[in-house]
Structure 1
Amino acid sequence: MIELQDIKKGFGDKEILKGVSAVMESGKVNLIIGASGSGKTVMMKCIVGLIEVDAGKILYDGKDFTTMDTHERKAIRQEIGMLFQGSALFDSMTVEQNVMFPLDMFGTGSYRDKKKRVAECLERVNLKDAARKYPAEISGGMKKRVGIARAIVLNPKYLFCDEPNSGLDPQTSLLIDQLIKELTVEYNITTVMNTHDMNTVMESGDHIVYMYQGQKQWEGSNKEIVFSNDQLLNDFIFASEFLREAKEMRQHELFSSGKWKEDLKNKGGNESGDDKK
């Protein structure tokens, strides 16, 4: 679990994060959503330590990341996997070599053990036959899957994904979402994802933090989001007439099944009492 306690960050006289508190839950896909300039990217960079917060705390399983020294932070970072927006593969390395890179940096096993682990990860993302190919020889969706394999090769406790569906067609995007969700549950990972993709929000959003002008405007699940009365959230998520109609259909589906009542009861509702209806 990752917990944010009243974190603040500014650059010069511009305040970006204005006291954000949230919990990123283990075994779930935690989404950070919001319009450009809302502070979501800065928040993710603060969580992984690429940017230092001005105030507040970031806790990894109860340990205060903000007060750790370099050695202590390195230990946490070895438990972090990162999936970059552009995949960030090394062009001069094969798929196998790209996935092995973190093992060469941080691993202590033999080359044979590393190669076996790489093969396991490539098979898990259905890329076993692409091991000897170079990034230029594979598709965008395959590059994303290589990135996922590299991100999980060290058996991370935490997985950060920056716009994992960027530049992908809708069908491939759904496959990437499904894979990330499966891995999150399978390995009980705390997955944190920045996304603008509404399919991701509605299909994979176990826990969603909606940022607006540097503050947490709303927090809840993809089922709760359908019944939210937060106008800013609704204007952002269901901006088009098509999406508003899709929301009404989803509401009807959830009402008919009665499942939404159980979900809200188990969670205890979100932070806004207006949304529990």
Structure 2
Amino acid sequence: MIELVNIKKGFGEKVILPDVSAVMETGKVNLIIGSSGSGKTVMMKCMVGLMEIDGGKILYDGQDFTNMPEQDRKNIRRQIGMLFQGSALFDSMTVEQNVMFPLDMFSTGTLKEKKARVMECLERVQLKDAAKKFPAEISGGMKKRVGIARAIVLNPKYLFCDEPNSGLDPQTSLLIDKLIKEITHEFNMTTVINTHDMNTVMESGDHIVYMYQGKKQWEGSNKDIIFSKDEKLNDFIFASDFLRDAKEMRQMEMFQEKDWRNKLKKS
């Protein structure tokens, strides 16, 4: 797991994260949500070491990532997969070459072994037939799946995703959410997603941290959200009348399911 212990981050006199503690759990899809300016992007950048924190600790499975020697940090980074918001594929490389890039950088395997691993990952995201295509020849959703294949090609323990559904239609977004969740559980990874997509929150949120003005306002699962009494969280998640009505309907369904289970136990 990844543990944040009283982390602080600011730029000059502007404090972004005054004092945040949270745990990103292993084998779960951990979401960081919040409105623009809430500190969620800075929080993720601090976790992967793109920004240095001003105080506190970041622990990877108990190891102090904040204060460890640079070589040890590199070893941690080799266990991290990253899915970028814009996919960040190399236009001049084929799909196969894009996925192989991390292996060329960090693996000592033979070309045959690397190609076998690449095809294994492309098959996992159902893109084996697109291996020889260039990014310009595939759709936005396919590019995201290539990004996922590249992120997992080194068998990472930790997967970070920055707005994985940005720019995608609702149906494709659900497919990406499902794929990330399946891979997380399948490989028992610690997955951290920075998102404002409410479908992702309700469908994939095994563990959710809601940030408000740089502070952790709420923490729980997507099921906990349905019954949350936190006004700031509810105003953010259920911002429209339609979503508030949907919340009430879901509450009724969950109560009915609970009543049904209780009746079954009695019988």
Q: In structure 1, what residue type is equivalent to 2:146?
A: V
TM-score, scaled to structure 1: 0.93
Q: What is the rounded CA distance, in whole Å, between the counterparts of 2:17 and 2:173 in structure 1?
A: 29
Superposition pairs of residues 91-106 of structure 1, within 5 angstroms: 91-106=91-106
Shift of 1:92: 0.3
Worse-superposed segment, 182-191 or 249-258:
249-258
Corresponding residue for 1:219? 219
Question: Which whole-Å CA distance do the structure 2 matches of 1:9 and 1:257 have between them?
Answer: 44
Amino acid at match of 1:80: I
CA distance in 1: counterparts of 2:49 and 2:9, whole angstroms = 12
Cα distance between partner residues in 2 of 1:254 and 1:7? 37
- In structure 2, the partner of 1:235 is 235
CA distance in 1, matches of 2:258, 2:57: 39
Task: State the 1:252 CA deviation.
Answer: 1.1
One-letter identity of the residue aligned with 2:96 = E
Give the partner amino acid of 1:55: G
In structure 1, the partner of 2:193 is: 193
3-state SS, counterpart of residue 67 of structure 1: coil
Residue 111 of structure 2 is matched in structure 1 by 111
Measured in 2, the distance between the counterparts of 1:74 and 1:194 equals 23
> SS of the counterpart of 1:166?
coil
Equivalent runs, 1:50-65 vs 2, <5 Å:
50-65=50-65
For the residues of structure 1 that align with 2:27 and 2:177, how far apart are their CA atoms?
A: 15
Q: Distance in 1 between matches of 2:252 and 2:151?
A: 38
Post-superposition offset of 1:253: 1.4
Question: C-alpha separation between the residues in 2 aligned to 1:114 and 1:46?
Answer: 31
The number of residue pairs the alignment matches comes to 261
CA distance in 2, matches of 1:68, 1:142: 38
Question: 1:147 maps to which residue?
Answer: 147
Distance (Å, rounded) in 1 between the aligned partners of 2:258 and 2:108: 51
Tell me the alpha carbon deviations over residues 171-222 of structure 1, each in whole angstroms, 9 at most, x when there is no partner.
0000000000000000000000000100000000000000000000000000
Q: CA deviation at 1:70?
A: 1.3
Regions of 4+ moved over 6 Å: none
Report the secondary structure of 2:167's partner residue: coil
**Alpha-carbon offset, residue 58 of structure 1:** 0.3
- Structure 1 residue 49 corresponds to structure 2 residue 49: yes
Q: Secondary structure in 1 aligned to 2:141?
A: helix
Q: How many percent identity over aligned positions?
A: 80
Please give the alpha-carbon distance, in whole angstroms, between the structure 1 residues aligned to 2:128 and 2:176.
17
What amino acid sits opposite 1:97 in the alignment? Q
Partner of 1:248: 248
Question: RMSD across aligned C-alpha pairs, in angstroms?
Answer: 1.2
Match of 2:265 in 1: none
Distance 1:254 1:221 in 2: 15
Equivalent-residue separation in structure 1 for 2:68 and 2:36 (angstroms): 31
Q: Say yes or no: does 1:204 pair with 2:204.
A: yes
Letter in 1 for 2:64: D
Letter paired with 1:76: I
Q: 5+ unaligned residues in a row in structure 2: which ranges?
A: 263-267
Q: CA deviation at 1:75?
A: 0.2
The residue number in structure 1 matching 2:90 is 90
